[in-house]
Structure formats: structure tokens, C-alpha cells
Amino acid sequence: MLVSGCGEPQSWAALSRQLAGADSAARSALIEKYIGSHGGTPLIENQTRLIFLAQDVNGAAPRVVGDFNAWAATPQGYDASVGKMTRVEGTEWSYLQGTAYTNARVEYTLLFEKEARPDPLNPRLVQAYAGPRSEVRMPFWVEQPEIDDQAAVPAGELIAEAYASRALGGSRRVWFYLPPGYRASTDLYPVVYFLDGGNYIEKMDVPRVLDRLVARKAIPPLVAVFSEPVDRMEEYSRNPKWRAFVSTELVPMVDKRFRTFPAPDHRAIVGSSLAAYGAIDLSVEYPSLFGLCAAIAPPAQAATLISNQAKARTSAPSIRFFVLGGAYDAMIDGARALRTTLDNVNAPVSYLEVPEGHSTETFRAHLDDALKALLNQ
């Protein structure tokens, strides 16, 4: 039986005391009621504290791993004890406490022995490279309407093609985004090239993000080109064939086929994660083509593209850069080092650090910051 006089608990600590005074048979019901009254899990207290709750699956409790505990990565390597939950005595429930910044957006999964699953008690779900994850938005998180607002806006046109490249000796998937009103206009448009095009199209739904940004006049109408690699590690690492494909085939074809401003200060290249390395490489190798470059969550070695190459140190001051780092990203030092290196060579750079991790949702949610910094000058 419940302890006499106990009302509705107002915190996890109060619920824990109530559970201690309850019959074993009543404890699970109390937990479920408390979760329901808070709209799901995790529970957020004092603006920074997270309490994750999960039921056993096949008699075993999961671990909870995510941005808030570095996905169990440590300087010594992966730690299989990170995220281990504590049993609520007499129940099939376990809990884990953690913290996050008051304005953070963090992702996590429930990790069982053989699989990772999103939290079934969390209504917020996002797609990541490795599959679906649960999402937490802390109390002072600033919402981004271009990814959340589902109100109808004029839609641009998306053209998908297989481009036969002589430089690469084969065909590549390429998509072209034309803004609303393009066909009826005679205007010239800035053009933005996105590396890892398939991810930006198929997992991040960036054309719809662009539609919303254009409709709200956050960015000017633009043409976007999404190109797909075959081997990211090879092609984004200063590969001469990839460089030739972009510089001698793709860019000239786009300028001939579409009404673009054929000038570097109206031509941007965008890459995230390893593709940020590829974007920086193309911009400093061809400053006469790309006068604008966005490096989103760049890897640690990105700064060396500037610091180790005399040509790049000469080129960089003529290019406007945007660099984004995530405070919960294990690669955050890459963004910070790149910013410092660009500052050291007097390259114009806008830097933004956000309370998020390394994920597709972070990349797509901050395209507005990148494009506004590069195009709204």
C-alpha cells in the first residue's frame, strides 16, 4: 500500500520515496502514471537534469547512450559500462540520470545486447545515418521552423539524373533543385553545391528545408546541386579525378544549363562531417569557382588543408567561410581548429557552436545559419 498522506510526486526524488513505501505490485503502476503525467520520457527537472526510464526486454534492462554521455566513447576507447541503468527494486523498470545544457538538443538510443532501439516512451523521433533515434529538446531549446513547421509553402522543382562523367569513368547520381518561380523568371540565381547529395536529399529532405527558407525570405531563391560520391574516403581526400569532375564537368554544365550567377561570390559549396573536408579542399583548390564554403562539423584534419598548403593559405582569404561545431560532437575540436586556422590566415569566417551532436538533424537544422552567413551579404 502507498504511504498514507502521499500526494502526487513533483519530482523523481519524490516518486522514489513514494515507491519505497509502496507494495511491489503497485510500483510499476506508479511509474507508468508518473511517465504519463509528464508526456513520456525522459523526465526533465531543474532545466538540466534528465531521468531516463525503461522497461526490461526479455528480462534485461537496456543501456542508454547518446549525446549526453558521448555515446559511451572515452579517451581510452569505448566503455561498455557507460549508460548502465539502475533497477527500481521490485519492478521491471530501470532508470538513469544525466544532464544536458538548458538549450540543448540531444539524441539517444536504448542499447540492448544485440540492437539499438529508439525509446518507445519518447514521442520525439529523428532519423540518423544509423537509423532512428530518440530526441530530447531541453527547456530553452530554440525551435527552427524550417524543420518543424509543416505549413504548406510553394515547392521548388527537384530533378534527379545520372550524370556520365569522363573524369570519374562512370555515372554519378546528381540532383538539381530549382526554386519556386524559376521557370517563369528570367533572373539569375546563386548556386549552392552540396556534397553527399544522397544524404541531403533522401535523409535530410533538404529541398523542403530550402522551400521554407525561401518562402520566409530567410535566404534568397537559389539553385542547388546535390552530387553523390561512390567512395567518400577516397574522393573527398584531395582526389584529382573528383576535383576534375566538379571543376571541369559539373560546374560548367550547371552554369550552361541553368540561370546561375557564374561568379565565385555567388557560388557556394557545402559539406558536413567528412564532406566538409571535401568542400574545403575544393574551395581552396579552386577559389575562382567557389568563393563561399560551409564546413559543417568538419573532421579534425580539416584545418591541415589550410595550414599545410601554401596555395590554400593564399586562396583562403578570398573565400568566405562558415564553420559549425556541435558541443556534443566528438569532432568539435575539428571545427574549433579550423576556425583558428582560418583566422590565422585572415580568411573571413563565421563560426557557430551549437548545443547538439553529430547528426543529420543538426546538419539540416543549421543550413539556414550557413546559407544566411554566406549568401545574405
Could you report the per-residue pLDDT of 199-233, keeping only the tens digit for each?
999 999 999 999 999 999 999 999 999 999 988 98
Between CA 111 and CA 252 the distance in angstroms is 48
Residue 69: CB atoms within 10 A of its CB come to 22
| Residue range 316-341, pLDDT digits in tens | 999 999 999 999 999 999 999 999 99
Q: Which domains does the chain have, with CATH numbers?
A: 12-141 (2.60.40.10), 146-375 (3.40.50.1820)
Between CA 200 and CA 125 the distance in angstroms is 18
Write down the pLDDT at residue 130. 84
DSSP 331: T
The full length of the chain comes to: 377
Mean local confidence (pLDDT), 229-257: 94
Strand 49-55 relative to strand 267-272, pairing: unpaired
| Residue range 95-146, pLDDT digits in tens | 999 999 999 999 999 999 879 999 999 999 998 888 899 999 999 999 888 8
Q: Is the pLDDT of residue 3 over 50?
A: no
Between CA 50 and CA 134 the distance in angstroms is 13
Between CA 31 and CA 12 the distance in angstroms is 10
Q: Is the pLDDT of residue 243 over 50?
A: yes
The model carries a pTM of 0.93
24 band by pLDDT with thresholds 50, 70 and 90: confident
Write down the pLDDT at residue 146. 87
CA dihedral sign of residues 86, 91, 93, 98 = negative
Between CA 216 and CA 304 the distance in angstroms is 37
Residue 262: CA count within 13 A, CB half-sphere: 11
Q: Is the pLDDT of residue 237 over 70?
A: yes
The share of the chain scoring above pLDDT 90, in percent, equals 87
Burial of 192 from C-beta contacts in 10 A (0-12 / 13-18 / 19+):
buried
Q: Is the pLDDT of residue 4 over 60?
A: no
Write down the pLDDT at residue 1. 35
Strand 43-45 relative to strand 49-55, pairing: antiparallel
Place of cell 556534397: 195
Mean local confidence (pLDDT), 13-30: 92
Q: What is the mean pLDDT of the chain?
A: 94
Write down the pLDDT at residue 38. 93
